[in-house]
């Protein structure tokens, strides 16, 4: 067994190292302060052969290691200098992807596996004398859930070499002795955290009595996962007795009642991995399986809706917990019917107080936390990044979300009773699409003997018992079991599996997929029994057919681990060969693990799991299917109502206690506004955009109000949802030993899903300026009928209070009438801007509309506030009752009211409450009857309050300098915003063959839409070329490596994504797979040198193509693209300018576009142009080979310090480069994502009608079509 250890480049930038040093010195209580800190990447290689030299040379080049340091020694440990080695606990996602790259690039026979760790060298001011092997600050430099740490290099035998296989264990509950079988089962249940209740254990004793043998550990574990609260929702299906009265309905029954009452527009509810809603006729866009040519098919496209929670894993290990939460929900969306497609996501995080260092808010308290839980701050620093990164790498935009904090004492000082989110809510949801012929699962599609397939990544010892662990309240006693349930995410593998599903789906009725489920809680032990049961069969499976990277796993571990990115499918015999060929093309692992078993003549079916490697226990599982899915009795919940004695909230008294008794009304409103705007639920979320309790009766009442009353009256169905009922965290205070606990309050998160007929008529909160639309007014619709309850408001919470009367829907008919009126308003076209009243109240509604429009407002409270007193004005401004504000032209006031006259709220509930000021007066002036304002609030100051928490979090998480730069933009009141300054007409017909949506061409030139594993923007790229008159052809790198030629293509386009997860650097693995493969290298070099071809690389394609510059004529001075200077993935809509005038030969892609400045989508983590020398940048500029550059909103070149206009820190604002002959263009922003006029984040209303179907960026693709001729 041979190994190789290589020392790579810096793991931290100098700034990161300084920040880490500061955190250690601030938090660790060290014997001696840290003087300096450095980090290096270390690569550990498990070799198959002995050719270390070849392996070393290639890895040094691919990973850009300093060649003279790769084999050097790290500093020895001394009293003043310590080197700490941080390595993964399990096989890391980096290892899986990195190993895949080395195998594709020709080292499959030399490398078994490669892994990456860190060596962190710390130098102390003075020598350590006490317990020098201790690492008191280890929690700052490693994640105990996913990593190990030590003062010596890891044992590579332990890291790479599989140990002895763990055996199956017999749980002999029937052994002789004093204990009964039930008592022994109770002990086993507690020891292994199975979370079985008493009735389930009694049932299992009887099952195995009938079997005439004791259970195996894998059988008990499987039963626990399949029947866990997480998987079976026992609480929501329970019978309820409240105050001695038997309730008629279960919680789930009341939710189902909404669908029963209003089944309209629902195709599938409660019966699949997501709900299916009726869609409209739209375009199904996919490559033809036989030709690869992308085709557009008009058909009904049904909509999926799904939501999940991943609270427990996120509390334990935030980044992987949230990442796998997003990944699991994405798999749900892909496993509907016979295969479906995730499209857009949502995420949400509810935590206790943040306690940001140096930014503690007045209402926040620190009561400690369980030692094995992450703090709320750490959750919000890490979990949103985990969720965002999974979504980004998979290729699904996350479009909406929520973020709240709460920690409040509902008891008293002597006996506190804390409500909050120490155990957080992590919500992952989304929408997708499914073809109508695949929308429903039908057992008739499954033939006897169908093959059972596990699709996706390998099994590993990851996430064992997560279903049961998340079903129990968390205490420090369960910490080790919690660790065992932590998972890891590999979105690149999930993308491979989704590509297999997409290809099968494109075959329509010929799809090889007969049945599909995703693998989640409980792993295969839950997914496979559920799969065959839903198809009406039993199943026979062979354990050793399951694809695994760890041969030491016991039957229990192999069967029940929760390794992510897996699906289970049923494929009929006659479709198996086609399915296998699809998987191989996508390089997606799969295993054929068994077949379905038909029921016997008595209607009984069996579940059999064999182990061909075991002579002692050849059948780890041999049970009737009925044993695994017991009919059983329903859980019974017996609770009593409890009224909390909550005092009313007095806003004036609370504010004066914080200020002074003599504070003026203006001072009170200003202070209240600042407090409320700093509340996370109210303020900016930009840092997330650019990641047995005592309340049972309340839960029942909440579900009853929604499921039996409100939704049926509104004729709204709830077709899908998720419940989480174990939301209590308990621990003992380290100093006092006193028991502490925090219980989450009953919390409802509701997301509406609907078909939007015309996105151009969607309202936004952006106030339109006087200079653009003339005089306008603000109309306020009060849906609370004058009520102004302050209970639960952000203002009350900012004083650590709740109040005793909450806002309510008091008149359901009023809401129905309101939406009828909204339909008329949409048809009338009079509304310019719209925003609802919710978190933070009316003042927040108005302020957020001002922020979006960068203008001022005069707010008139006559008729809204009951009087001009401080108490009434505060209630009017800060209550969170239902209501909305509309901006309309002054001349349209009558038309606006007319839309409400026949069906809307009564006249007295509709008021003119303000006017929009000229842009130069960016302040909020609040009046009540008197001409003298109550208060003037500056827009800049308000927006800085509103952004303060997000800014502080961004500063803590990312580059502080970049956070400062973005925060400073708020104060620029003269900022003109993004704009379109075009030197061409988007509708200009520069080519008579220009396509429109749905057009097809008999002899269109062929463009290879090239993709590699992990690429996710190929569909948009294909559509852009189709729209310009090309025939886009799907070409996978596996086709090229198998011998396919590029000779038939006139164009080549490489799109965005995360090829191989970018683990060797963005685009590196993809590029090396070409450079290191003889046939591929020859094909690409020949293509680039053909004078009749063009090439385009966007984002990941740009990163790849620039690393092929040795094959491309006229590309010698191109940069590579490195990590963004902000240290964060940047997803923005920014400005670029185009200048192709200085090049000797015009670009194929930029005909007539020079001199234009316009917005474009930016979405990358490694977009900073990095040049080998300063002269390269100068040469590139002098020769006109950098035709796209980032500019600010004033159209000035955005230098690296101009963030976020320059999103990545590229020198000279370089956003794209071209070859000297103009045939190759590589750019980091995404023109293909905004070719449709409708899909840009912002388009001037006056111009969108002029442009028609396509926006300005389609010109780039039409230009290429013009060049081809």
Active site residues: 1099, 1230, 1232
Per-residue HEC secondary structure of 536-565 comes to CCEEEEEHHHCCECCCCCCHHHHHHCCCCC
Judge whether 1094 and 1130 are in contact, CB under 8 Å. Answer: no
| Residue 165: both structure tokens together | 């296989």
Which of the 8 DSSP states describes residue 144? T
The verdict on whether omega for the bond into residue 1204 sits within 30 degrees of 0, i.e. cis, is yes
Q: DSSP states of 820-844 as a string?
A: HHHHHHHHHT-EEEEEE--TT-HHH
Contact 858, 917 (CB under 8 A): yes
Per-residue DSSP letters for 857-900?
A: EEEE-BTTBSSSSHHHHHHHHH---SEEEEEEEGGGHHHHHHHH
Distance of alpha carbon 369 from alpha carbon 742, whole angstroms: 9
In the structure encoding, which two tokens stand for residue 187, read together? 């002990």
Are 1055 and 1100 a contacting pair, CB within 8 Å?
yes
**How far is Cα 923 from Cα 938, in angstroms, rounded to an integer?**
4
SS (H, E, C) 746-771: CCCCCCCCCCCCCHHHCCCCCCCCHH
DSSP 8-state symbol, 77: P
758 Cβ partners below 8 Å, 6+ apart? none
Q: Number of H helices and number of E strands within the chain? A: 41, 46
Q: How far is it, in rounded angstroms, from Cα 730 to Cα 244?
A: 29
CA distances from 340 to 284, 303, 392 (A): 12, 10, 19
Cβ–Cβ < 8 Å for 559, 222: yes
Closest among 1234, 1046, 1043, 1214 to 1118, alpha carbons compared: 1214
Tell which residue, 708, 744, 741, has the closest CA to residue 723: 744
Asked if 373 and 318 count as a contact pair (C-beta separation under 8 A), the reply is no
Name beta bridge partners: 1054: 1010, 1097
What span, in angstroms and rounded, lies between the C-alpha atoms of 682 and 510?
A: 50
Look up residue 1110 and give its DSSP letter.
Answer: G
Residues 49, 110 contacting (CB under 8 angstroms): yes
Element (H, E) at 503: helix 491-506
DSSP, collapsed to helix, strand or coil, labels residue 1220 as coil
Calpha distance 846→833 (Å, rounded): 11
Q: Phi/psi of residue 163, each to 5°? A: -80, -170
For the chain, what is the radius of gyration of the CA atoms?
31
CA–CA–CA angle 667, 671, 675 (5° rounding):
170
Rounded to the nearest angstrom, the gap between the alpha carbon of residue 260 and the centroid of all alpha carbons in its chain is 32
Q: H or E segment at 99?
A: helix 93-102
How many angstroms separate the CA atoms of 273 and 263, rounded?
Answer: 18
Q: Are 884 and 793 in contact (CB under 8 A)?
A: no
Burial class (CB in 10 A: 0-12, 13-18, 19+), 698: middle
Contacts of 772 (CB under 8 A, 6+ apart): none
């Amino acid at each position: 067994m041979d190994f190789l250890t290589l020392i790579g480049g810096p793991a931290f930038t100098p700034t990161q190292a300084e920040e880490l040093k500061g955190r250690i010195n601030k938090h660790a209580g060290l014997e001696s302060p840290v003087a300096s800190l450095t980090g290096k990447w270390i690569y550990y290689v498990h070799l198959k052969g002995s050719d270390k030299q070849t392996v070393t040379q290639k890895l040094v080049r691919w990973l850009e290691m300093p060649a003279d340091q790769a084999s050097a020694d790290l500093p020895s440990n001394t009293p003043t200098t310590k080197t700490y080695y941080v390595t993964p606990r399990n096989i890391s996602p980096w290892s899986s992807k990195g190993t895949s790259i080395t195998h594709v690039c020709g080292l499959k026979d030399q490398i078994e596996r490669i892994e990456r760790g860190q060596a962190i060298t710390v130098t102390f001011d003075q020598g350590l004398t006490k317990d020098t092997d201790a690492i008191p600050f280890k929690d700052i430099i490693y994640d105990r859930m996913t990593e190990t740490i030590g003062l010596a290099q890891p044992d590579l035998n332990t890291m790479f070499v599989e140990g002895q296989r763990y055996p199956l264990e017999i749980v002999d509950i029937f052994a002789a002795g004093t204990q009964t079988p039930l008592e022994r089962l109770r002990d086993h249940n507690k020891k292994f955290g199975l979370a079985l209740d008493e009735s389930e254990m009694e049932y299992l004793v009887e099952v195995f009595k009938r079997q005439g043998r004791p259970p195996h550990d894998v059988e008990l574990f499987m039963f626990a996962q399949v029947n866990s609260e997480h998987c079976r929702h026992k609480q929501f299906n329970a019978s309820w007795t409240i105050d001695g009265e038997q309730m008629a309905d279960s919680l789930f029954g009341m939710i189902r009642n909404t669908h029963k009452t209003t089944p309209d527009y629902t195709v599938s509810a409660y019966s699949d991995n997501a709900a299916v809603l009726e869609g409209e006729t739209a375009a199904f866009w996919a490559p033809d399986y036989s030709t690869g040519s992308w085709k557009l098919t008009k058909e009904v496209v049904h909509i999926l809706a799904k939501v999940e929670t991943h609270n427990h894993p996120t509390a334990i290990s935030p980044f992987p917990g949230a990442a796998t939460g997003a990944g699991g929900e994405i798999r749900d969306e892909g496993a509907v019917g016979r295969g479906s497609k995730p499209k857009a996501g949502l995420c949400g995080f509810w935590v206790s107080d943040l306690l940001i260092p140096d930014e503690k808010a007045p209402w926040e308290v620190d009561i400690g936390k369980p030692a094995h839980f992450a703090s709320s701050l750490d959750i919000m620093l890490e979990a949103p990044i985990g969720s965002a990164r999974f979504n980004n790498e998979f290729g699904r935009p996350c479009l909406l979300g929520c973020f709240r904090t709460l920690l409040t004492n509902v008891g008293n000082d002597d006996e506190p009773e804390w409500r909050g989110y120490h155990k957080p809510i992590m919500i992952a949801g989304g929408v997708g699409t499914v073809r109508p012929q695949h929308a429903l699962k039908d057992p008739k599609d499954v033939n006897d003997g169908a093959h059972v397939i596990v699709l996706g990544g390998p099994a590993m010892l990851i996430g064992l018992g997560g279903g049961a662990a998340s079903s129990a309240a968390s205490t420090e006693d369960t910490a080790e079991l919690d660790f065992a349930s932590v998972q890891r995410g590999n979105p690149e593998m999930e993308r491979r599996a989704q590509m297999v599903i997409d290809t099968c789906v494109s075959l329509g009725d010929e799809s090889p997929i007969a049945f599909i489920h995703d693998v989640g809680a409980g792993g295969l032990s839950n997914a496979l029994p559920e799969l065959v049961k839903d198809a009406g069969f039993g199943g026979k499976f062979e354990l050793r057919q399951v694809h695994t990277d760890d041969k030491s796993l016991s039957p229990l571990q192999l069967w029940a681990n929760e390794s992510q990115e897996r699906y289970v499918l049923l494929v009929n015999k006659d479709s198996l060969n086609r399915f296998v060929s699809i998987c191989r093309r996508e390089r997606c692992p799969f295993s054929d693990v068994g077949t379905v078993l038909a029921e016997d003549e008595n209607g009984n079916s069996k579940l059999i799991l064999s182990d061909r490697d075991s002579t002692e226990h050849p059948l780890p599982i041999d049970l009737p299917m009925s044993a695994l899915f017991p009919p059983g009795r329903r859980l019974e919940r017996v609770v009593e109502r409890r009224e909390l004695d909550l005092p009313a909230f007095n806003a004036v008294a609370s504010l004066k206690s914080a200020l002074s008794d003599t504070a003026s009304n203006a001072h009170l409103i200003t202070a209240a506004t600042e407090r409320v705007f700093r509340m996370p639920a109210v303020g900016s979320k930009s840092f997330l955009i650019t990641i047995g309790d005592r309340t049972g009766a309340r839960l029942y009442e909440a579900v009853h109000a929604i499921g039996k009353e409100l939704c049926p009256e509104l004729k709204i169905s709830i077709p899908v949802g998720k419940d989480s009922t174990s939301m209590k965290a308990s621990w003992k205070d380290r100093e006092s030993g006193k028991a502490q606990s925090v219980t989450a309050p009953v919390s409802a998160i509701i997301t509406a899903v609907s078909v939007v007929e015309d996105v151009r008529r969607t309202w936004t909160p952006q106030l339109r300026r006087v200079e653009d639309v003339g005089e306008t007014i603000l109309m306020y619709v009060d849906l609370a009928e004058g009520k102004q309850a302050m209970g639960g408001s952000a203002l009350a919470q900012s004083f650590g209070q709740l109040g005793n009367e909450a806002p309510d829907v008091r008149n359901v008919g009023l809401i129905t009438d309101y939406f009828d009126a909204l339909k008329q308003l949409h048809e009338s076209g009079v509304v310019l801007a719209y925003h609802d009243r919710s978190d933070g109240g009316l003042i927040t509604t108005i302020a957020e509309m001002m922020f979006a429009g960068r203008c001022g407002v005069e707010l008139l409270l006559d008729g809204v506030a009951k009087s001009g007193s401080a108490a009434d004005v505060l209630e009017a401004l800060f209550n969170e009752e239902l209501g909305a504000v509309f901006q309309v032209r002054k001349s349209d006031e009558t038309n606006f009211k007319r839309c409400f006259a026949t069906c809307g709220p009564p006249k007295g509930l509709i008021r003119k409450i303000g006017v929009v000021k000229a842009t130069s007066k960016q302040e909020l002036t609040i009046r009540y009857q008197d001409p003298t304002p109550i208060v003037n609030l500056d827009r800049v100051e308000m927006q800085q309050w509103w952004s303060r928490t997000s800014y502080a979090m961004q500063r803590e998480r990312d580059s502080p300098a970049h956070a400062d730069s973005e925060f400073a933009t708020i104060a620029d009141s003269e900022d003109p915003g993004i704009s379109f300054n075009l030197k061409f007409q988007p509708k200009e017909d520069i080519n008579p063959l220009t396509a429109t949506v749905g057009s097809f061409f008999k002899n269109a030139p062929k463009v290879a839409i090239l993709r590699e594993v992990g690429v996710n923007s190929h569909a948009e790229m294909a559509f852009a070329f189709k729209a310009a008159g090309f025939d886009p052809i799907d070409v996978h790198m596996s086709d090229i490596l198998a011998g396919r030629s590029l000779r038939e293509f006139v164009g080549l386009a490489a799109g965005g994504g995360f090829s191989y997860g970018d683990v060797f650097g963005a685009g590196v693995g993809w590029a090396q797979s070409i450079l290191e493969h003889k046939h591929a290298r020859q094909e690409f070099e020949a293509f680039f040198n053909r004078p009749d071809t063009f090439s385009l690389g966007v984002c990941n394609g740009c990163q790849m193509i620039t690393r092929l510059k040795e094959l491309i004529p006229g590309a010698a001075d191109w940069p590579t693209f490195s990590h963004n200077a902000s240290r964060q993935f940047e997803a923005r809509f920014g400005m670029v300018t185009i200048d192709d005038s200085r090049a000797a030969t015009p670009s194929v892609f930029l005909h007539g576009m020079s001199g234009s400045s316009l917005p474009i989508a930016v979405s990358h983590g490694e977009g900073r142009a990095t040049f080998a020398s300063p002269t390269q940048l100068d040469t590139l500029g002098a020769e006109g080979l950098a035709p796209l550059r980032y500019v600010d909103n004033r159209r000035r070149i955005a230098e690296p310090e101009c963030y976020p206009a320059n999103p990545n820190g590229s020198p000279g604002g370089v956003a794209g480069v071209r070859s000297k002959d103009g045939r190759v263009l590589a750019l980091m922003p995404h023109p293909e994502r905004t070719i449709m006029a409708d899909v840009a984040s912002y388009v001037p209303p006056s111009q969108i009608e002029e442009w028609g179907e396509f926006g300005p960026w389609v010109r780039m693709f039409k230009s290429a079509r013009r060049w081809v001729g």
